[in-house]
Each structure stands twice: as C-alpha cells, then as structure tokens.
Amino acid sequence: MLPAFFPVAVSLLMLLPPPLSGAVREKKQLTLRECVEIALVNSSTVKKAEHAVRLEGSDLLKSYGQFLPKLSVSAGYTPVSLTRTYSDLSARSIAKTQTERVDLALTTSLNLFNGFQDYASLRAAIKRREAAGFSLFRARQIIIYDVTQAYYQVLLNRELLKIARENLSSSRDQLQLTKRQYEIGIKPVTDFYQQQAETADNELTVIKTENNLRQSGLELLRRLRLDPADEITAADIPVDSLLDLPLHLDRDRLVSQGLANRKDLQSSTLSTNAAQWDVTRAAAQRYPQLDLTFSLNTGGYPYYTTTADVPPSSYAYPPFSDQLSDLVGYSLSLSMNWSIFDGFLTRYNVEQAKINYLNQGLDTADLKHDIAIDIELAADNYTAAFKQIETARQGLKAAEKAYETVKKKYDLGAASFVEANAAKAALVSARADYSQATYDLALQKNILDFATGSISLD
C-alpha cells in the first residue's frame, strides 16, 4: 500500500512552478531603422556590390599602371658547368674547363604608343568604377525598400489580428448572451446555433490571421538575415504619422527627379560609356606598338679552372665582387611591333565591342523608359491610396452607426440574427479596410520613393 502522505506529496509537486528552461523568451522589439541597419550589414546583395566596387578599384589601378614603365629583375646562378674542348687537334688532347657563374640583369620597358589602347582602358575603368559605386548605392536602396515593405506588412497583419481577436471576443460574449436569452425563452434555438457557427468562423479567422502574422514575421527575418529562432517583434508606428503625407503630387517633377536621382540609371549610363571606350580599345590592335626598353646586366665567375695548356695568368680572374662592378653593361632599344594580318581577329573583337556598346545603350534607354512608367504607376497608386483612406474612413463611421442601431434592435428582439450578423460583418470588414488603406498609403509612399530614387540611406 502507498503511504498515507503520498497523495499530498503529489499534489504539492503539481503546484511547483515549471522549470525556468521552459519559460517563454521575451521578444526583442526592433524599430524600422534598426531593421534597416541590420539588413544593410547582413545583406549578401550589398556585400556582393561592395566586392564589385573593390574589384573595379583594382581594375582602375591596373589601368593607371599601364602608363608606368615595367620593371623586372632576373638572376641566374650556375653552380657547376663543365666543358670539354680539343686543346691539340694533332694529339687529340682534350682540355676540361669547370666554372661557377652568376648573372644579374635589370630590365625596364615603357610603351610609347599602342593605338590609344591604354588610354581607352583607363577611361573605361574609370566609368566602371563609378558605375559600381552607383550600383552599390542602389543595392542599399533596394534593401531599405524591401525591409520597409516587410516591416509595414507585419504591422498591418498585427492590426488585422487585433481586429480579428476583438471580433472573436465580441462573438463569444454574444454567444453567452444568446445562450441565456435562449434558455429563458427570449431567443429561438436557431439564433443560438447560428451564433455558435459565427463564433467558430471567427475563431478560424483568428487562426488564419495569426498564421499570416507569423509568415510576415518570418519574411522580415529573411530580409534581416537573422536566425528564424530569434524572437523579434516590430515596434509600432503611430498611425497618424502614416497619414501625415502630401496629398498632391507634381508628376513632371517626380519623373525629372527620378531620371536625375536613380542610381541604377546613372550606373547603366556609365556602363554604356565604358562599353564605348571598349570599342576604341579593341580597335587599337590595328595600329603599331612602339616600346622603349633599357637593360642593365652584369655577371662573373666565383670559380674558374681549366686543364688547357696555357699560361695560368691568362685565366687569373679578379675577385667576384670586382667582376660584378667591372663587367656592368647596358643596352637601350626601341622596338616596333605591327600585326599586319591576324586572321580578322581584330575585326571580330571590334565588332563584338560595338555590339556590346549598342546593347548597353538599348538597356539604358529601356531603363529610362521603365523609370518614367514606374513613377506614373506609383503616383497613381499613391493618389488612389489617399482616396481609399477617405472612403474607408466614411465607410467605417457608417458601419459603426449601423451596427449600433441593429445591435440595439436585435437585443430587443426587433431585428433578426441575419441582420445583426450582417451589420457586425460589415463593421469588421470596414475596420479591416481602414487599416489596410492606412498601411497601403505608407507602402505606396515607400514605392514612390523607391521609383524616384529618393530613399535616403541615413
């Protein structure tokens, strides 16, 4: 048999608090600015753009270096060299010579002319370096735009969840009231069952809205490149600040601003200019190449011995250090290299560079046209968002009054459940429409700023 105190002990154990390891972690609240800063640091797109800028910087340095003289140093060391020669042909006697030799050479060359190839390469490198900088700027703007869209979506889904939960709470209260009214005979049983169904439908709506909020939160984490297990939440933004935006837009000014500010357009224009210089660089192979070369060399024998029958004084070399200083020689040469026919290779390279230049020009023209269209669309959506807010605000006021009237009539038995439910559904829909219209205005303003290239990196 179990001891008499066993049930008491079990009850006390059940009353103990759960272990700390199972405690819910508090979510870290992040503002929009903090989210943007995190995304800019963690974004692989920005890092790739930074790498591209770094590479173009190295290419520019290389292009500058082509105008400087080339310098090379060479050294040779032969530890042992053995040669045999006939010292007396009649006696067929062989003399052996064994040496150790060191050779040093310093060579510098300067290209005087190569058909302006180096100059064209330098101009193209400068344009591409500037284009890479603009591409990096635009990549950061894209990150800010994307994070802002995801952030506002989280706030909108949170607001919709709040509305859904309030509606569910109201439905549950109404269910309890309907149940009591049915039990005392004021309401028919059909109203009770219909209210049960309505409450269940609202519970389903809450579940779906919670899932939407969870998904939007994960999408924000995706853009921040944070661990999905991180518990974060978006800080609220006052709704009034979202509505404090200009109503009227100057479309012509916005288009001009977009064409002037869009860094991707500036990058594309510079890339087109670089491609034009590539044509000049490819055509440089048609001209002769002129080089000036200067060479300084010396050498000596640290060790020299021979068995030839000659006076020893003939092979008495001075000290090795004296040889290196005494045997210094130099040469200065001017050389020209001109490829008369290369199997149409230069022609192909020039044509390839021209086609690339034409394609770059087409891409730039298309981008300029698309920017104007995108700004017009963004301006239309922005203006429509303002109108939707005003319409949604009026609809919300009307739905609130209608629901209050129908609710009083329903409580008094003068209205049917269908009428009360329709009025409540209209109110919930109106509240959701107003919240969506409010955040849609903020989203459209973000899109308009992105289209005009006016998103600030600060």
Q: Does one domain contain both 308 and 328?
A: yes
CATH code for position 226: 1.20.1600.10
Final residue in a domain of this structure, among 337, 367, 402: 337
Residues 177 and 323 in one domain: no
Is 9 contained in some domain? no
Does residue 2 sit within a domain? no
Whether residues 281 and 351 share a domain: the answer is yes
In this structure, the number of other CB atoms found within 10 A of the CB of residue 234 comes to: 23
Within a domain: 21: no
Looking at the structure, tell me whether residues 147 and 259 fall in a common domain: yes
Domain boundary among 306, 337, 368: 337
Identify the pLDDT of residue 10. 37
Domain match, 333 and 373 both: no
Residue 108 lies in a domain: yes
pLDDT of residue 19: 46
4 occurs within a structural domain: no
97 & 127 share domain? no
One domain, residues 158 and 276: yes
Q: How many structural domains is the chain composed of?
A: 2
Domain assignment of residue 324, given as a range: 72-112+290-337
pLDDT in tens, the chain (458 residues): 444 434 434 343 344 444 444 444 567 899 999 999 999 999 999 999 999 999 999 999 999 999 999 999 999 999 999 998 877 667 677 888 888 999 999 999 999 999 999 999 999 999 999 999 999 999 999 999 999 999 999 999 998 999 899 889 888 888 888 888 788 887 788 888 888 998 999 899 999 999 999 999 999 999 999 988 888 889 988 877 777 788 788 999 999 999 999 999 999 999 999 999 999 999 999 999 999 999 999 999 988 888 776 555 456 778 889 989 999 999 999 999 999 999 999 999 999 999 999 999 999 999 999 999 999 999 999 999 988 988 988 998 998 898 888 888 877 777 777 787 788 888 888 888 888 898 899 899 999 999 999 998 87
Rg (CA), the chain: 42
Single residue among 320, 337, 354 that ends a domain in this structure? 337
- Could you tell me if 92 and 140 lie in one domain? no
What is the reported pTM? 0.82
Do both 150 and 62 map to the same domain?
A: yes
Asked if residue 17 is part of any domain, the answer here is: no
What is the 3-class SS of the chain, one letter each residue?
CCCCCHHHHHHHHHHCCCCHHHCCCCCEEECHHHHHHHHHHHCHHHHHHHHHHHHHHHHHHHHHHCCCCEEEEEEEEEEEEEEEEEEECCCCEEEEEEEEEEEEEEEEEEEEECCCHHHHHHHHHHHHHHHHHHHHHHHHHHHHHHHHHHHHHHHHHHHHHHHHHHHHHHHHHHHHHHHHHHHCCCCCHHHHHHHHHHHHHHHHHHHHHHHHHHHHHHHHHHHHCCCCCCCEEECCCCHHHHHCCCCCCCHHHHHHHHHHHCHHHHHHHHHHHHHHHHHHHHHHHHCCEEEEEEEEEEEEEEEEEECCCCCHHHHCCCCHHHHHHHCCEEEEEEEEECCCCCCCHHHHHHHHHHHHHHHHHHHHHHHHHHHHHHHHHHHHHHHHHHHHHHHHHHHHHHHHHHHHHHHHHHHCCCCCHHHHHHHHHHHHHHHHHHHHHHHHHHHHHHHHHHHHCCCCCC
The answer as to whether 374 is a domain residue is yes
State whether 157 and 243 are in the same domain: yes
217 and 238 assigned to the same domain: yes
* 38 inside domain: yes
Same domain for 127 and 102: no
